[in-house]
Amino acid sequence: MAATLTPEQLAALQNAATHLRMESVRSTTAAGSGHPSSCCSAADIVAALFFSVMRYDPKNPKAPNNDRFILSKGHAAPLLYAAWAEAGLFPKQDLLKLRTLTSDLEGHPTPRLPFVDMATGSLGQGLPVGVGIALNAKYVDTLDHRTYVLMGDGESVEGSVWEAVEVARQQQLDNLCAIVDVNRLGQSDPTMLQHDMDAYRARWTGFGWHALVVDGHDVAALVGAFDEAARTKHRPTVLLAKTFKGKGISFMEDHPNWHGKPIPQGAEMQRALDELARQLKPNGTPPVIARPASAPVARPAAGALPAPPYKIGDSVATREAFGVALEALGGVNPLVVALDADVKNSTYTEKFGKKFPNRFFENFIAEQNMLGAAAGLAACGKIPFAATFAAFFTRAYDFIRMAAISQANIKLVGTHVGVSIGEDGPSQMGLEDIAMMAAQPGVTVLYPSDAISTYRLVESAAAVKGMIYLRAGRPKSPVLYGPEERFPIGGCKVVRQHASDVLTIVAAGVTLFEALKAHEQLKASGVSVRVIDLYSIVPIDRTTLLESAASTHGRLLTVEDHYAHGGLGDAVLSAVATEGIRVHKLAVRAIPRSGKPDELVDHFGIGARSIVEATQHIIK
C-alpha cells in the first residue's frame, strides 16, 4: 500500500475508474435496468481499493488472508462486477450478461459469485457483515487482512449501521474500514444531510470512530486516506467520501432523476461513453494488484461430542441443554463460535463465552448486528451460533432473509418461546418464530422437547452445512429420552402408540408434555391416542405422519405454543395436504398476556384440557 503515487500510478487508477464507469454504463444499458448513476459516484473509491489499496489474489477471491471488500450499497453491483473483471477474475464480455437468468451477475450481488460473502441489496447490512469478518481476523484466526465496506449515504440512516458502528468501536476493530459514498441523492429525494460533510463527521466521531472527510473523486486523496486508516490503531476508520451521483457523465452527474435508470441504447449511451473515453489519461500504466501475505489457516477436524449429561426423568429447560451442548461443542470443534445480544445468562451462551472468550461475541442489545456478524463469521468458515429470545429474532428478520438468500452457514437459537414463558407477557413471547424461519428457503427448523434431543440436535446443527433454527423453551421439562437416542434431522418420534389409537396428536415443546398428560387422561376414559414428538419441523417426516394418520382413522391433531398461522400445525398440514387427511389444529389464537406459565398454556387453549376436549370432539 503506497501513500504517495507516481503520476503513472495515479493515471492508471484514474483510468481504471473511468473503465469501471464505462463498463457499468454498458452493462446496465444492455440489461435495460440497473443503477449506473450509483456506480459512477463510487468508481474512484472502488478503483483505489481494487488497484492500489487492497492486497488480494484476484484469481482466488476466497483466499483466507485476502483483504475483503463488501459492497453494502448492493445496487452498485455492476461496478463490483466490473472491478473483478478488470482484476482478471472473468472476461469483461461476461459483464453484458448482467441481470439475465443464465448469469450469476445478478441485479444485486449474491454469494453465487465467489467474491461475494453475503448477499446485499437490502441496505444497512454490509457493515454488520464486515464486523463479523473483522472479528474473525482480529480475534479468531488472527489474520492481518483488512476489511472494507462501501456504503451509500442514504443507507447510513438504517439503524443496523449504527449497531455495527457501536460494536466495531467496542471491539476496537482497527482492521475494519467503512467508506460512505456521500453522493447526495437518494432514490426519491436528496438525502437528509446531502453534502453536509461536517454533520457526517460529527455522527461518526461521536460514535468513537476515526473519521476522514475526503474528496471521493480524488484518487490520490483516497489512497492517502486508506493509508491513514491502516495506520490507525484501536479503532475503526470511516472515509466520508464526498461524491456526485453519475460522476463523469455530464447529463447524469448530480441530477436527481437518474436513480435506478439505465442510459437508453443509442445516441445517449454513445454520448456517455464518448465523454468517459475523453477522460482517459494517455500515460496510464496497467494497475498492479498487491498480493496478501500468505497465512494458511489450520482447519482442525472436529472431535466427537461427549455423551449428554442427562438421564430420563431429569428436569432441564431446553435452553439450558442448548447452552450445555454449545459449550461441549466448543471443546471439540474450534470452528464453532457464538454470539449473543445481552441475554447470555438467559440463553445460556454464557457457558460457552466463559470457556472460549476469543470465540464469543457479545453484541449488547443489537440483534441486527449479531445476525450480520454471524453471517460474516460464517463467510470466514466459522460455524456461528447466534442466540437470543425467539421474539427478538423478529428484530433481525431482514438479516435472516438475506442470510437465507446467501445460504449462510449460521445456526440460530431462539429461547423463551410461546405463552409458556409466563409473567413477562407478550412482548417477550416468541409466537411467530416458526412462521418466519420456515418461510425462508433452505432453513432447517428444529424444535426439541427435552434435554437429550436438544443436545443431539445442537450437535447435528453444527455438523450440517446451512442455516438452522432451533426453538428452545424457558420452563424446565422432563428428560424423555436415553442418552443413546438419535434424532436425525427430518425425523420424528412416536412416543405413544397402540393398535387401538383413534387419533394422532402431533406436538413439540411444552405441548408435547400436555399431549402426554392428555394421553393419560384419555386412556383413563378408554380412548387411546398416538403421540408424536415432531422435533424436526423443516424438513418434516411426511412418511411417519402419513403412516400414523392411516393407522388412526386418518385423523391428526396438532398442538403448538405458537400462533396459528405458519407454525407446526401448518407444516404438518402442508406435508399431508394432497392426501385428504383431516387435520385439527390447536394454537395460540389471541393476543397473549401475562400470567403463570401453566395458566397461560391452559387459557390459550393448548393445554391438556383443550387437547382432551378436542379429541373428544373429533372422535365423536
Footprint of a second copy on 193-212 (CB under 8 A): 199, 202-208
Which member of 194, 497, 521, 594 binds a second copy (CB under 8 A)? 594
Which amino acid, 498? H
**Residue ranges with strand state E in 153-258:** 176-182, 210-215, 237-242
Distance CA 361, CA 167 (A): 10
Which amino acid, 310? Y
Stretch that binds a second copy, among 16-24, 48-56, 191-199, 318-326 (CB under 8 A): 191-199
Among 155, 166, 362, 367, the active-site one is 367
Distance CA 280, CA 97 (A): 25
DSSP string, 462-499: HHS-S-EEEE--SSEEE--S-TT----TT--EEEE--T
Residue 244: HSE in the Cβ half-sphere, 13 Å Cα cutoff = 12
Please, what is the minimum distance in Å from the beta carbon of residue 274 to a second copy? 27
Cβ atoms 510, 601 nearer than 8 A: yes
Residue 181's closest CA among 80, 106, 111, 109? 80
Between 7-31 and 267-278, two packed helices, what is the crossing angle to 10 degrees? 170
Question: Could you say which residues in the range 283-312 bind a second copy, by CB under 8 A?
Answer: none
Q: How far does Cα 465 stand from its chain's mean position? A: 14
Question: Could you say which residues in the range 226-285 bind a second copy, by CB under 8 A?
Answer: none
Question: Could you say which residues in the range 388-407 bind a second copy, by CB under 8 A?
Answer: 391-392, 394-395, 397-398, 400-402, 404-405, 407
Between 9 and 346, CB nearer to a second copy: 346
Which member of 124, 292, 308, 323 binds a second copy (CB under 8 A)? 124
Which amino acid, 557? L
Does 69 interact with a second copy (rule: CB under 8 A)? no
Instruction: Pull the grid cell for residue 3.
Output: 501513500
Based on the number of CB atoms within 10 Å of its own CB, is 439 exposed (0-12), middle (13-18) or buried (19 or more)?
A: middle
Indicate left, alpha or beta for 443 from its phi (over 0: left) and psi (-120 to 50: alpha).
Answer: beta
Query: Biggest alpha carbon distance in the chain?
Result: 94
Between 389 and 455, CB nearer to a second copy: 389
Distance CA 586, CA 564 (A): 7
Instruction: Give the β-pairing of 315-317 and 476-478.
Output: antiparallel
Contact track, a second copy, 313-352, x by CB under 8 A: ---------------------------x-xxxxx---x--
Stretch that binds a second copy, among 88-96, 228-236, 297-305, 581-589 (CB under 8 A): 581-589
Which member of 126, 132, 186, 334 binds a second copy (CB under 8 A)? 186
Cβ atoms 385, 349 nearer than 8 A: yes
Does 569 interact with a second copy (rule: CB under 8 A)? yes
Which member of 288, 312, 358, 424 binds a second copy (CB under 8 A)? 424
Number of neighbours of residue 40 by Cβ within 10 angstroms: 32
Active-site residue, 367 included:
yes
Distance CA 55, CA 108 (A): 24
Between 143 and 445, CB nearer to a second copy: 445
Please, what is the minimum distance in Å from the beta carbon of residue 129 to a second copy? 13
Question: Could you say which residues in the range 147-166 bind a second copy, by CB under 8 A?
Answer: 154-155, 157-163, 166
Does 425 interact with a second copy (rule: CB under 8 A)? yes
Between 325 and 419, CB nearer to a second copy: 419
Does 465 interact with a second copy (rule: CB under 8 A)? no
Rounded to a whole number of angstroms, the distance between the first and last alpha carbons of the chain is 80
Does 490 interact with a second copy (rule: CB under 8 A)? no
Does 469 interact with a second copy (rule: CB under 8 A)? no
Instruction: Pull the grid cell for residue 70.
Output: 463488501
Q: How many residues bind a second copy (CB under 8 A)?
A: 119
Stretch that binds a second copy, among 40-48, 137-145, 185-193, 311-319 (CB under 8 A): 185-193
Please, what is the minimum distance in Å from the beta carbon of residue 81 to a second copy? 12
Does 138 interact with a second copy (rule: CB under 8 A)? no
Does 550 interact with a second copy (rule: CB under 8 A)? no
Does 34 interact with a second copy (rule: CB under 8 A)? yes
Stretch that binds a second copy, among 217-225, 267-275, 308-316, 430-438 (CB under 8 A): 430-438
Residue 64: strand, helix, or coil: coil
Residue given cell 396438532 in the structure block: 558
Between 495 and 534, CB nearer to a second copy: 534
Question: Could you say which residues in the range 432-451 bind a second copy, by CB under 8 A?
Answer: 432, 435-436, 438-442
Question: Could you say which residues in the range 73-112 bind a second copy, by CB under 8 A?
Answer: 74, 99-101, 103-104, 106-108, 110, 112
Active site residues: 367
